[in-house]
Amino acid sequence: MRLDIGVIKGDGIGPEIVTEAMKVLDKVGEIYQHELSYSQLLLGGASIDAHGIPLTDETVAEAKKCQAVLMGSIGGDAKVSPWYQLEPSKRPEAGLLKIRKELNLFANLRPAILYEELKGACPLKEEITEGGFDMMIMRELTGGLYFGERKTVEEDGVVTAYDSLTYNENEIRRIAKRGFDIAMKRHKKVTSVDKANVLDSSRLWRKTVEEVGADYPEVTLEHMLVDNCAMQLVKDPKQFDVILTENMFGDILSDEASMVTGSIGMLASASLNETKFGLYEPSGGSAPDIAGKGIANPIATILSAAMMLRFSLDLDKEADAIEQAVAQVLKDGYRTGDIMSDGKTLVGTAQMGDLICNRIKR
């Protein structure tokens, strides 16, 4: 099978960690007999250096020709980089926001996985995390409070700010459908999070999610108020499979979930549109302070590549092979510096990629 993949290596540690993910993808292609074709694309600081702007129309057009895009980290040190002397619309992160809009990436996936081998890095009590946990937070990315009408005015001598939280049923239906589809690839449970006891938008959210859920009889659907969900994430994270929620709630809950995994260097992410196309990237930043030192943790990017195989290319066995190889490397005691602990073996970026490649099996 031919796989056409766009690659944005990005800035800082981006080129290093994406190189290791590509190495792993090439190994998968070798074992499972896939032909991988990469289109190298520029975004962020690298695009500014080459073209003077963080994203060109040509890059967007090339990305649209690919089945999926794998991306590294974008941006640099805002205190010293000349990129941040530019106006905000021409800075690296502006390119990231633009490509998400241009590609209509409305569904954000943030897995939060605690491996048994890394439970010591989790801030929760050991009796809570015994055996680890594995959840997926599905966040609506292009609607809600962040994209609603806003204004700040003076009324009767008092400065007053307005932010509008708006969702229509079509926006809710498409993210709900994507959430149920992903639950079908996992443990077939969806927890829809809202504030239906207070907000009209949440009542529409709950009604629409229930309508979509009726088309997925194999999936268990439960509703949970957002404040309760925030509590349950630290009380009993193992109860969750797919958490489906709107933009602001998802922003907050995904950050909370990421903290209980212990290291952001382990966190993959994806943003999907209405087709199978997706943009896959690690959740962490560009870490310019360690760029070029060969010590960055590539696992989040490698796991993002596995998500790409699973959700955009429907290659579940290949995705499983990568995830199992990562788990085996951790079980065998190998660690990059960010997840290092006593008695383990410290390795660099490239060596971690090699170790994972060597454990990929059919």
**What residues act catalytically?**
146, 195, 227, 251, 255
> Which residue, chain included where needed, has tokens 């929760």?
124
Q: What is the DSSP letter of 90?
A: G
Which residues neighbour 226 within 8 Å (Cβ) at sequence distance 6 or greater?
193, 194, 195, 245, 249, 252, 253
Largest interatomic CA distance in the chain: 71
As a whole number of angstroms, the distance between CA 255 and CA 196 comes to: 22
Half-sphere exposure of 248 (CA within 13 A, CB side): 16
> Which residue, chain included where needed, has tokens 């996992």?
186
Q: How far is CA 74 from the centre of its chain?
A: 14
Q: What is the DSSP letter of 142?
A: S
138 conformational bin, left if phi > 0, alpha if psi -120 to 50, beta if neither: beta
Q: What are the residues facing 220 on neighbouring strands?
A: 189
Q: Which long-range contacts (CB under 8 A, 24 or more apart) does 126-130 make?
A: 128/234, 128/235, 128/236, 128/237, 129/237, 129/260
- Nearest Cα to 140, choosing from 64, 59, 47, 205? 205
